[in-house]
Structure 1
Amino acid sequence: MTERYEAIVIGGGAAGLSAALVLGRARRSTLVVDGGEPRNAPAAHMQGYLTRDGMPPAEFLAEGRREIERYGVDLVRDRAVDVVPDGTGEFDVTLVEGRTVHARRLVVATGLADELPSVPGVAERFGRDVLHCPYCHGWEVRDEAFGVLATTPMSVHQALMVSQWSKDVTLFLHTVAEDELTADDLRRLAAAGVAVVPGEVAGLVVDDDRLTGVRLGDGTVHARSVLFVAPRAVPRTGLLERLGAELRETPFGSYPVVDETGRTTVPGVWAAGNAMGFSEQVVNAASGGYRAGAMINADLLFADLDAAVRV
């Protein structure tokens, strides 16, 4: 027999757990399918979440799982590989292990993956002294010697942003040609005191498990203790695409078209967290999950009331 739930949340990060918490407290039978691939797993701590500033992400998620369990929410460590509408406005979800579960409503909170530049050492040190978000890590590395690895002309924006946290910033053009920088770019970089170094980056210099420099292709080494990079965002929107959700193109990938509650263009399906946008930090993701959960509860309530009236 296929197990039936009023709501299935696909993704067990901040957005998914927050949606499940609201639904569980609303006495809705809810299942969370957690693939165990949180975007912030490389980070030792998360910042900017009031009352949870500095908390390790793994600890945060463990506490979230304990909280939803108190309200009868089921959680399975698995991945959803397919979602099929059943023809009545509800959905059958197939998991990797072959199990099929049924949902009246869905929350897709599958997040995104960060595809890092292919420079030796970058992936190994990501989340430590190779960083991407100054709001997440800027305070912890303030006033250190920053490098910024340019992979697109938009890297100029990143270099200007991180100059808020250090006045010693070097922009390594890497794969960006000097003539791709506009006159405004050069004026702003000069005003911010950002040094610009042309040439491709060949690798990182690490001593005693700490970043100490950036090495160019010609062998030149620039002393740096922090390197900011801009990963290519790869949204995990496969399930939404299978369902026929409308997507919108952004500079950071394709994301579903949603209303203010996260409702997609597919009736009965909501998106939350990085599944709906690149810049959703943990606190934003939790908020988005809350809104989705509350709206799904209301949607189910009025659907049932309207059905009762018709009878």
Structure 2
Amino acid sequence: MEYDVIIAGGSYAGMSAGLQLARARRKVLVIDAGERRNRFAATSHGFLGQDGRAPDDIADDARTQLLAYPTVKWVSDTATHAARHEEGFIVETTHGQRYSARRLLLATGIIDELPAVQGLAERWGQSVFHCPYCHGYELDQGPIGSLATSPMSLHHALMLPDWGPTTFFTNGVFEPDPEQMASLEQRGVTVVAEHVERIEGEQANVVLASGGVIAIAGLFVLPRTRVASSLAQTLGCTFEDGPLGAFIQCDPMTRETSLSGVFACGDAAMPFGSVALAVGDGVRAGSGVHRSLIFQTHP
């Protein structure tokens, strides 16, 4: 085998896993095309020691540190196909390259599927967000909106008043029952059932079907998510249904998938995600892969 481990995806989780393996002096190949989930955001928050930094700067520093280890190689490409081969795996890329390794770690991330509301996608990561812990504080207690995408959005709406006065736009997607309405009232949430026509303005002003406009400092949305790569599916890994979309099922400690020798970490392997959670999950996965190289004989 050419490498001990191939890591498909070199964002925060993939690099964190790679660092553990590099420090164990294992031969690691990272294949990554630079499409991080948070590339739309100007700053990243809630990650201890990196709070308020640009995502590009955090990732660039991490990559520099990782590549300082002589056993790590980085390929700027996308892993498009993987298959078991002899004592490991063969991975192919968009540019037609083939690499082999004893273990495969999937850190491919996810894709956010936003609701089809005009003006929403253009503001994603700037004034439209999914995580209040990541972006709520910077709204400086200004008016906040929560746009319903499923019943799960109720949880979002109940959280958000800690960051500012909150309006819950149910948009025909979800109708709170009397008990839920009482909870929203107790939290001081204003409920607007009228259809949302579009989002406009410098921030994220909500234009209703009647023509009315509600000015807000930031809008929170829980998008549906899907794993960004088909590798896990084509390999036959088991998926688990989460509240926002399916994710790769893994052992909670080792992060090994249902397919022996294949591991996963980061947003693709969790029901919820953030930079800090991804980095921590990468540590678990990297050490899990390393232990499998020592103590197990598969694949």
Question: TM-score scaled by structure 1?
Answer: 0.91
Alignment correspondent of 2:75? 76
**Contact 2:264–2:285 under 8 Å retained in 1:** yes
Helix, strand or coil for the counterpart of 1:291? helix
Q: Distance in 2 between matches of 1:277 and 1:111?
A: 10
Helix, strand or coil for the counterpart of 1:252? coil
**Contact 1:116–1:232 under 8 Å retained in 2:** yes
Number of equivalenced pairs: 296
Q: Distance in 2 between matches of 1:212 and 1:49?
A: 25
Alignment correspondent of 2:158? 160
Q: Distance in 2 between matches of 1:30 and 1:39?
A: 23
Alignment correspondent of 1:281? 274
Aligned with residue 242 of structure 1, among 234, 237, 241:
234
Deviation at 1:280, TM superposition (A): 2.4
Superposed CA offset, 1:32-72 (max 9, x none) = 00121111111111111111111111111101110111112
Deviation at 1:237, TM superposition (A): 5.0
Q: What's the RMSD between the two structures over aligned residues? A: 1.6
The percent identity for this pair of structures is 39
5+ residue gaps, structure 2, are none
**Contact 1:106–1:268 under 8 Å retained in 2:** yes
**Contact 2:195–2:208 under 8 Å retained in 1:** yes
Q: Distance in 1 between matches of 2:180 and 2:83?
A: 48
Q: Distance in 2 between matches of 1:52 and 1:211?
A: 25
Deviation at 1:121, TM superposition (A): 1.1
Bigger Cα Rg: 1
| Structure 1 runs of 4+ with >6 Å offset | none
Describe how 1:22-37 pairs up with structure 2 within 5 A. 22-37=20-35
Describe how 1:217-296 pairs up with structure 2 within 5 A. 217-236=209-228, 238-259=230-251, 260-296=253-289
Q: Distance in 1 between matches of 2:273 and 2:123?
A: 23
Amino acid at match of 1:257: Q
Deviation at 1:303, TM superposition (A): 4.6
Q: Distance in 1 between matches of 2:287 and 2:54?
A: 27
Deviation at 1:142, TM superposition (A): 3.2
Which range moves more in the overlay, 263-272 or 279-288? 279-288
Describe how 1:107-122 pairs up with structure 2 within 5 A. 107-122=105-120
Question: TM-score scaled by structure 2?
Answer: 0.94
**Contact 2:46–2:276 under 8 Å retained in 1:** yes
Helix, strand or coil for the counterpart of 1:40? helix
Superposed CA offset, 1:79-138 (max 9, x none) = 01100101x341000000001000100110001011111111111111111111101111
**Contact 1:261–1:288 under 8 Å retained in 2:** no
Aligned with residue 188 of structure 1, among 165, 183, 186:
183
Superposed CA offset, 1:128-170 (max 9, x none) = 111111011111113101111112222221111111111x211
5+ residue gaps, structure 1, are 307-311
Superposed CA offset, 1:168-188 (max 9, x none) = 2111121325xx311221001
Deviation at 1:296, TM superposition (A): 1.6
Deviation at 1:261, TM superposition (A): 2.1
Alignment correspondent of 1:54? 52
Q: Distance in 2 between matches of 1:15 and 1:283?
A: 9
Q: Distance in 2 between matches of 1:251 and 1:95?
A: 31
Amino acid at match of 2:266: G
Describe how 1:96-107 pairs up with structure 2 within 5 A. 96-107=94-105
